[in-house]
Structure 1
Amino acid sequence: MNSIEQKINSLVVDLYKVGALKFGDFKMKVGINSPVYVDLRVLVSHPKVLENLSLLAWECAEPHVKGDHICGVPYNALSMATIISVRHNIPMLIRRKEAKKYGTKKLVEGQFKVGDTCVIIEDIVTSGSSIMETVKDLESEGLKVAGAVIIVDRGQGGMKNLAENGINAHSMLTLTKMMQILCDEGFIDKTVVSAMDKYLKESQISIPLTLDFHHCQVNRLKMSYGERANVATSPVGRSLLQLMETKKTNLCVAVDVGSAENLLSIASQIGPYICLLKTHADAVGDFCEETAKSLEKISIQENFMIMEDRKFSDIGHTVALQYNHGPLRIAKWAHFITCHAIAGPGSVSALKSAADDQPRGCFLVAEMSSEGNLITSTYTKETVSIAETHSTFVAGLVSQSDVTTTLPGLIQLTPGVRLSSGTSDGMGQQWVTPEEAVLKRGADVVVVGRGITESQNIKEAAKLYQSKLWAAYQTRVRSG
């Protein structure tokens, strides 16, 4: 065994000992369970292991990739890139997830010249989409990407996707190799290795060739949810699309009830059939921290996500307080919130900051289903523009028509759906059928409320809507 192999073996054992490798039964972003979870974020609390890992990864890749600069994929790889930069005296660049709206308005921070080369540093690769997004941003600033240095390749198709898209990538470790080292060292047994191999075979991810990850001129309505997950720039939006693909549901149920007991009872009944549950927590008279925890527990058990339909519409400072403070503490338990664009992009930026690095996302209200609403086509167009500019946090749009034109990763959420169309509740709500919402209006996620929650058999109603909506989606994709 040579020196590099010895260092790698020792490093893998260190990662295991500090808790960067966890074994059990973990729900992954791709929607299925994995017997192993790699979490390199814990290394910020173990600086020596972080330093060893970063420098060893560079030592393994340096003969194959060289550049004028290095750039860590935000956010976890930034610390690794910083260590490499300082130790080897290589100028570092920082790629923002979105350009600043003030000052220099830069997307890439640091000093460089057009034509300079850059090596990307990434911690873990699954599909490779985060590296491709970084490539696009660096190239948009006139830089040339010389390659990518990756700590761990999960073995789910990411390296193949990068190679097919012309990116010279080198990984220090594969998940398979890590498991074998730990097995050889006696930390895990062969059954764990076998379970992991089975998981990897069932969770391969491919990315279409030559797909422009920022402004794809493709028809999102003809793409599968899985394909769109690969180009979604909102991490939590990507998770929702992957969940929809694997669970085979595009149903969201609006559970607008007055008591926590009723909310949780309905959530348990509809859980197997939905991808998203939409709440109005301020309408639940006894909503409290325990209600939120119970709802979270059900969402994990039944594999769905939660949206609080708060429709924020104030200045940034105010919405940040409403989101992360007060009696509801929405940021703590809701994967998504809704927001009007009336106050401008500042409110979106404030909500993103208030999320405090939790996996959270926002849906901007571009259109409404209520009769006589005051939203104009100009307002809708400006809302779409804000969504596209802030697409790392904005996961999608609430709309009644296909308003997204450039980012297929944005999700269209359409409310106001019932089995029979052309009806009204007498208070302005107008309904369309599931088929009309998906096939004619471009809905990705369809919101059904009272058509399910006021049904005599809530579970069967949810099952029926899920079946009809998924069939409509399959028809839409097949027609392409």
Structure 2
Amino acid sequence: MASHPTLKTTFAVRSEATTHPLTSYLLRLMDLKASNLCLSADVPTARELLYLADKIGPSIVVLKTHYDMVSGWDFHPDTGTGAKLASLARKHGFLIFEDRKFGDIGHTVELQYTGGSARIIDWAHIVNVNMVPGKASVASLAQGARRWLERYPCEVKTSVTVGTPTMDQFEDAEDAKDGEPVTVNGNGSNMMEKPIYAGRNGDGRKGSIVSITTVTQQYESAASPRLTKTIAEGDESLFPGIEEAPLNRGLLILAQMSSEGNFMTREYTQACVEAAREHKDFVMGFISQEALNTQADDDFIHMTPGCQLPPEDEDQQTNGKVGGDGQGQQYNTPYKIIGIAGSDIAIVGRGILKASDPVEEAERYRSAAWKAYTERLLR
């Protein structure tokens, strides 16, 4: 694992530095819930999927789905399974990750993402791509997300603040020509430029700047129960402490796999990292076995599958593998995935689903993954 500032930086601080709105939201959610756990809800029926999302939702920050393996999936856009999952995500505070692993030419994956009976983009905050066909698949998914957002019925949440300019901002204004806008801290994909104007008085002297107005905008669904309203106390249908998730969609690139004998070479992984840097407005990070941030401005999130805890009476901080499933899957502990390899989120499926008490076991995994993260910060 290469050393990188993000490994020693809290999720809360990272949320303020990242430019991807959904990444920022997820990092704040992780800090708020003290959770870096994703449930891989690979269950056979829609009824069981919704039941688990409701019961285990309080312990997780991401719910990973495979809609095409679920029988009884209701495709209705307003009342179907996807819509019900979105409602549970708002209630318990988690994001939905459809593990579709798009792996075709660009035109095809864009249609698979935005159309068809499932219309994945409508209910899944995050999807992923197997980049074997090349970088064009990433570019096409990003294009599909932009087009969808342009057409989606939404309202714009606007925040306006007024403050006193700093000396640096005065200097920027003095260097500007008469009437030329000067952009101050116009940074972030969901933030509008904030111009101040360098004008002159009648006697030739430059005018004074008395304040700077900052306008921040975020797209939110017109169907959202939250919008800009204050949540009523005791309203259990919305998770308290954080605003509605932004409409912006995010992509994870499948850069490494936990299965034995996979063909993802170092060259392939490096190409994934390059594609992510080329589309930072859409790519949130990677499905990987280790942290891949190497450049100073890399702020990608890493999610790692193949996570399993040993029984409670055994060492929880083992550095080795826990075992496998006999079908190629190799397991590692949260301590190794988060604390040693530097991933951010542990993806757990059968370790929780097959437990005698999945809700209690989810809390055990949440606690172990969070402990591995907090200890990593201190090392």
State the match for 1:414 in structure 2. Answer: 304
Q: Quote the residue 1:46 is aligned against.
A: none
Counterpart CA distance in 2 for 1:422 and 1:478 is 25
The residue aligned with 1:222 is: 8
| Partner residue, 1:326 | 116
CA distance in 2, matches of 1:234, 1:347: 20
Superposition map of 1:356-367 within 5 A: 356-357=148-149, 358-367=247-256
Cα shift at 1:342: 1.5
Q: What is the number of residues matched between the two proteins?
A: 263
Q: Distance in 2 between matches of 1:366 and 1:340?
A: 8
Correspondence 1:364-379 to 2 at 5 A: 364-379=253-268
Q: What residue in structure 1 maps to residue 378 of structure 2?
A: 478
Which residue is 2:338 aligned to? Answer: 438
1: distance between equivalents of 2:129 and 2:4? 27
Q: Is 1:452 aligned with 2:238?
A: no
8 Å contact from structure 2 (residues 57, 94) kept in 1? yes
Mapping of residues 40-439 of structure 1, within 5 Å: 218-289=4-75, 290-355=80-145, 356-357=148-149, 358-406=247-295, 407-420=297-310, 421-439=321-339
The SS at the match of 1:370 is coil
Tell me which residue corresponds to 2:182.
Answer: none
Q: Deviations over 1:192-230 (max 9, x none)?
A: xxxxxxxxxxxxxxxxxxxxxxxxx95210011111112
Inter-partner Cα distance in structure 1 for 2:62 and 2:41: 11
**Which 5+ residue runs of structure 2 have no aligned equivalent?**
150-246, 311-320
- Displacement after TM superposition at 1:235 (Å): 1.4
Q: Secondary structure at the match of 2:363?
A: helix
Q: CA deviation at 1:234?
A: 1.8
Deviation for aligned residue 1:370: 0.3
Q: Contact between 1:288 and 1:327, CA under 8 Å: does it hold in 2?
A: no
In 2: Cα distance, 1:239 partner to 1:329 partner: 23
Pairwise CA distance, 1:343: 2.0
CA distance in 1, matches of 2:24, 2:134: 25
Asked whether the equivalents of residues 296 and 333 of structure 1 are also in contact (C-alpha less than 8 Å), the reply is yes
**Residue type at the aligned position of 1:433:** T
Given that 2:309 and 2:322 are in contact with CA atoms closer than 8 Å, whether structure 1 keeps it comes out as no
3-state SS of the aligned residue for 2:127? strand
**Residue 456 (structure 1) shift:** 1.1
Q: What is the one-letter code of the residue matched to 1:305? A: L
Q: Given residue 32 of structure 2, which amino acid in structure 1 is its aligned partner?
A: T
Q: Contact conserved, 2:74 with 2:81, CA < 8 A, in 1?
A: yes
Query: Partner of 1:462: helix, strand, or coil?
Result: helix
**Residues 54-79 of structure 1: CA deviation (Å, up to 9, x unaligned):** xxxxxxxxxxxxxxxxxxxxxxxxxx
The one-letter amino acid paired with 1:396 is: G
CA-to-aligned-CA distance 1:63-104 (integer Å, 9 cap, x gap): xxxxxxxxxxxxxxxxxxxxxxxxxxxxxxxxxxxxxxxxxx
Question: CA–CA distance in 2 between the matches of 1:218 and 1:442?
Answer: 9
Aligned match of 2:369:
469
Deviation at 1:453, TM superposition (A): 1.1
* One-letter amino acid matched to 2:128: T
Which structure features the higher share of helix residues? 1
Using the alignment, how far apart are the partners of 2:95 and 2:20 within structure 1? 15
Identify which of structures 1 and 2 has the higher relative contact order when contacts are C-alpha pairs closer than 8 Å and 6+ apart: 2
TM-score (norm 1): 0.54
Aligned counterparts of 1:394 and 1:246: Cα–Cα separation in 2: 23
Shift of 1:412: 0.6
Preserved contact between residue 293 and residue 299 of structure 2 (Cα < 8 Å) = no
Identity fraction in percent? 40
Deviation at 1:392, TM superposition (A): 1.0
Q: Secondary structure at the match of 1:297?
A: helix
Q: CA RMSD in A?
A: 1.3
Cα separation, 1, equivalents of 2:328 and 2:103: 21
Range that drifts further, 305-314 or 353-362: 353-362
